[in-house]
A and B are shown apart, each in its own frame.
Chain A
Amino acid sequence: MIRLTIIVLLITLEVYAQSPKFSFSKEFVKVRSTDQKNEISVFIGEYATKDELTTKKAILGNINQNSSYLTFTPLLPFQVNTTYTAVFNDDFFTFSIPLDANYNHLRVAEIYPKTSTLPSNFLKWYISFSTPVNPTHIYDHIRLINNTTKAKVDRAVLPLETPLLSDDSKLLTLWIEPGRQKRDLGPNTHLGEVLVEGESYTLAIDKNLKDTKGVPMNVDFKYSFRVIESDRTQPNIEQWRFILPKSNTKAPLIIHLNDVLDYGSLYHNLTIINNKGKVMDGVFAIETNKQQIVFTPSKYWNSDAYILKCNPLIEDISGNNLERLFDRDLQKGSKTPVLERKFYITN
């Protein structure tokens, strides 16, 4: 029996250090062989004898034989910094894909909202990661800590089997336990809201949270805030303040929101209509941490009237939207929401 351990020094190569017989990459392992009957098995872990493998399952994948090589392609690429053992007849090859020294570790790029105070009926955060984050067991790495007691707040964040992640796996929506935020439900009645007015808390994401390649963050993330009274007022777009660009420019339109609004709900829920009734082409930058939206048109502004149209689903950080309060008192009537603002562009 031959046992070969391959130590990789040149990490920039896509296909790693070779023996005359064996080579590997993230995507495959390859053995020089011309025998059509040969089989290759790959296991996660380091093994030297077949006895050690009796209770182990081989990695699932496909085997291809050409005239010179037997190739194993796993269903998933091999993880970095993980030891694998390829078994070919009586030969054992141990290998590992090293982590690039210049690897960009996962980090929290931004969190919305990131204000020094939050209302006690605050509903959800959006956490923006620098690279795609591993959704599995993600809630095990997220805690809300009471800054006075230094204790974790139990059941503060709602764990979902499938976490709410954007398509690029970089934006996580984190809900505060809704049973405790909804007035008059059992959890709310017995325990009250998760966040107690006057207290301060820290949202902590531990450094062991991994990216989708299995590499951890390496640095803890912490964000502290103080809790103020609950917000039971609907957002009102009539209080938004417009900083208007000049006509014949492509200068941005800046809208001050005069409120901390929900980051996600503003996306795709705003349009600007010109005097011909057409939607203006352009890009909205949602900057809720600065309490503003910036619209940059792709064509020049005319000296004319424009209308900003808002979807009634736009909400504040406590879930109160333009149409209704988060938990609406059924004894109280509702009024027709204002969903449009007209503005004039001049020289």
Chain B
Amino acid sequence: MKKLILTLLIGLLCVSIHANDSLTKDFVTGNPEIGSINAMTFGPEGILFLGDSKNSQIVAVDMSSAKKATNEKLYLKDIESLLGELLGADSDQVQIIDMVVNPANQNIYIGAQHSSGKSFLFLVNNNTLENIPLNAVSFSKTAVTNVVKPDAKDRRGRSLRKLAITDIQFANGRIMVSGLNNAEFASTFRAISFPFTNTQKDSSLEIYHAAHGKYETHAPIKTFMTTNINNEPHIIASYTCTPLVVFPMKDLTPGEHTKGRTVAELGNWNTPLDIIEMTRDGKRYILMANSNRALMKFKVSDIESFSSTLTTRVKERAGTDGVHFINLPFVNVQQLDKLNDTEFVFIQREANGKLVLKTSSNRWL
């Protein structure tokens, strides 16, 4: 799902800067020992970044030489049954974790997890799913350090505290990682330089949320994207507690108490799932998938002109406030990504209960 958006813009910048210095020059071939696939995003040069909570690492895999899938008409009518058949498991033992498109060739990849904890990467090809083994690939990786020391174990010798990676994005030569911690109600947000180096220092931020300027709490980020707002690189983040918040990337200083500017409250009983950016007729739009709301469409220009932070309370039950948005006629969209300049691809739970992969054109923008 994870958003391409600025990745493309920044990717172009990186290409110009590193024209003779490929980002994959330090990659090695072998088994990156991926424990779990929790979040995925593509960077430039066909590099797929995988967030691996189980082994607390970010793995960059070179997918530039991967074959282009044949997807003349994209439609998978029942992905859960298909995964169950391919893995020989009951469909309730398998879960789709993420979907991402390689902007270089429009290949669609799906990360799925079996209840045993084993993760799989699939390529959507010929309207079925093709397993992509990750045990012999060209890769580079870096550890995402947890907030606790690795030697911290309980009396049974198990490590209790765990960072769950919720989203990753590539922008400005850095991979950004949001995560939830199972022991503290807080968000960890890290920016790690890429290509990875042995001596790198990742930036770790504390993210807070101020409700109407009155109360301030830690704010776990559920999903985020990067884009330019008023010509400045920004992060647009959605919290588990519904607000849509923007941060200027230049304000993200390690160790700082960082507070986002709330630009919208998106209603009760809702968890944001994915955000992407699309363009039509030169205008930029943000599409956001939600657990309990339709697909929302925002104009980037509305976010740019919304210069204040929300200071008044939302009046109606399940009301929303802030930047204006439109509900598109797509409900229960669970995964979302930009397929190409005119289409987006999504995975939707239909009324019959089936999980379906399909595409839509930008005529809705």
The interface of chain A, by Cβ under 8 A from chain B, is 42-44, 56-60, 74-76, 78-79, 82, 84, 123-124, 132, 134-137, 154-155, 158-162, 164-169, 171, 173, 175, 177-180, 182-191, 210-214, 262, 264-265, 267-268, 283-286, 313, 315, 319, 321, 326-331
A183 to B185, CA, bound (A): 15
Contact A136 B268 (CB under 8 A): no
Q: Between A and B, how many residue pairs show CB distances below 8 Å?
A: 215
Best-surrounded residue of B210, B217, B269 (most CB of chain A within 10 A):
B217
The yes or no answer to B113 lying at the interface (CB within 8 A) is yes
The yes or no answer to B88 lying at the interface (CB within 8 A) is yes
Given the known interface contacts A134-B93, A165-B182, A329-B215, the answer about A76 and B116 at a Cβ–Cβ threshold of 8 Å is yes
Contact A59 B148 (CB under 8 A): no
Of all chain B residues, which has the CB nearest A155? B269
Tell me which residues across on chain B come within 8 A of A166, comparing CB atoms.
Answer: 158-160, 162, 182
What is the 8 Å Cβ interface bit string for chain B, positions 309-353, against chain A (1 contact, 0 not)? 000011011111100000000000000000000000000000000
Binds A, one of B22-30, B63-71, B78-86: B78-86
Within the complex, what minimum Cβ distance (angstroms) separates A107 from chain B? 17
Tell me which residues across on chain A come within 8 A of B320, comparing CB atoms.
Answer: 186
Contact B185 A319 (CB under 8 A): yes
Contact B241 A190 (CB under 8 A): no
Tell me which residues across on chain A come within 8 A of B269, comparing CB atoms.
Answer: 154-155, 187
Binds A, one of B149-157, B193-201, B276-284, B356-364: B149-157
Given the known interface contacts A76-B89, A167-B158, A267-B152, the answer about A185 and B241 at a Cβ–Cβ threshold of 8 Å is yes
Contact B184 A265 (CB under 8 A): yes
Given the known interface contacts A75-B131, A186-B319, A189-B314, the answer about A210 and B162 at a Cβ–Cβ threshold of 8 Å is no
Contact B53 A191 (CB under 8 A): no
Given the known interface contacts A57-B86, A160-B164, A210-B115, the answer about A330 and B210 at a Cβ–Cβ threshold of 8 Å is yes
A43 to B299, CA, bound (A): 48
Tell me which residues across on chain A come within 8 A of B154, comparing CB atoms.
Answer: 267, 284, 286
Within the complex, what minimum Cβ distance (angstroms) separates A319 from chain B? 5
Tell me which residues across on chain A come within 8 A of B242, comparing CB atoms.
Answer: 179, 185-187
Tell me which residues across on chain B come within 8 A of A43, comparing CB atoms.
Answer: 85
Given the known interface contacts A161-B273, A178-B185, the answer about A268 and B97 at a Cβ–Cβ threshold of 8 Å is no
22 sample A-B contacts, Cβ–Cβ < 8 Å, listed by A number: A57-B85, A59-B87, A74-B88, A123-B185, A134-B93, A160-B222, A162-B53, A162-B165, A166-B159, A167-B162, A173-B182, A175-B185, A179-B242, A183-B215, A184-B214, A186-B313, A190-B319, A210-B92, A267-B152, A268-B160, A283-B155, A327-B216
Contact A136 B183 (CB under 8 A): no
* A136: contacting residue among B115, B165, B180, B271, CB under 8 A: B115
* A182: contacting residue among B38, B211, B213, CB under 8 A: B211
Contact B271 A326 (CB under 8 A): no
A326 to B92, CA, bound (A): 36
Of all chain A residues, which has the CB nearest B334? A161
Given the known interface contacts A165-B182, A182-B211, A326-B217, the answer about A212 and B116 at a Cβ–Cβ threshold of 8 Å is yes
Tell me which residues across on chain A come within 8 A of B32, comparing CB atoms.
Answer: none
* A267: contacting residue among B89, B93, B97, B183, CB under 8 A: B183
Contact B314 A186 (CB under 8 A): yes
The yes or no answer to B212 lying at the interface (CB within 8 A) is yes
What is the 8 Å Cβ interface bit string for chain B, positions 244-271, against chain A (1 contact, 0 not)? 0000000000000000000001011101
Contact B93 A184 (CB under 8 A): no
Of all chain B residues, which has the CB nearest A79? B89
Tell me which residues across on chain A come within 8 A of B92, comparing CB atoms.
Answer: 134, 136-137, 210
The yes or no answer to B243 lying at the interface (CB within 8 A) is yes
Contact B241 A330 (CB under 8 A): no
* A214: contacting residue among B53, B89, B217, CB under 8 A: B89
The yes or no answer to B114 lying at the interface (CB within 8 A) is yes
Of all chain B residues, which has the CB nearest A167? B159
Given the known interface contacts A162-B166, A327-B216, A329-B215, the answer about A315 and B116 at a Cβ–Cβ threshold of 8 Å is no
Contact B93 A187 (CB under 8 A): no
Within the complex, what minimum Cβ distance (angstroms) separates A161 from chain B? 6
The yes or no answer to B224 lying at the interface (CB within 8 A) is no
Given the known interface contacts A76-B118, A79-B93, A164-B180, the answer about A190 and B314 at a Cβ–Cβ threshold of 8 Å is yes
A286 to B160, CA, bound (A): 12
Tell me which residues across on chain B come within 8 A of A184, comparing CB atoms.
Answer: 211-212, 214-215, 313
The yes or no answer to B174 lying at the interface (CB within 8 A) is no
* A212: contacting residue among B87, B117, B148, B268, CB under 8 A: B117
The yes or no answer to B120 lying at the interface (CB within 8 A) is yes
Of all chain B residues, which has the CB nearest A282? B155
Contact A186 B88 (CB under 8 A): no
Within the complex, what minimum Cβ distance (angstroms) separates B114 from chain A? 6
Tell me which residues across on chain A come within 8 A of B222, comparing CB atoms.
Answer: 160
The yes or no answer to B291 lying at the interface (CB within 8 A) is yes
Tell me which residues across on chain B come within 8 A of A187, comparing CB atoms.
Answer: 241-242, 268-269
Given the known interface contacts A79-B88, A173-B182, A189-B313, the answer about A179 and B161 at a Cβ–Cβ threshold of 8 Å is no
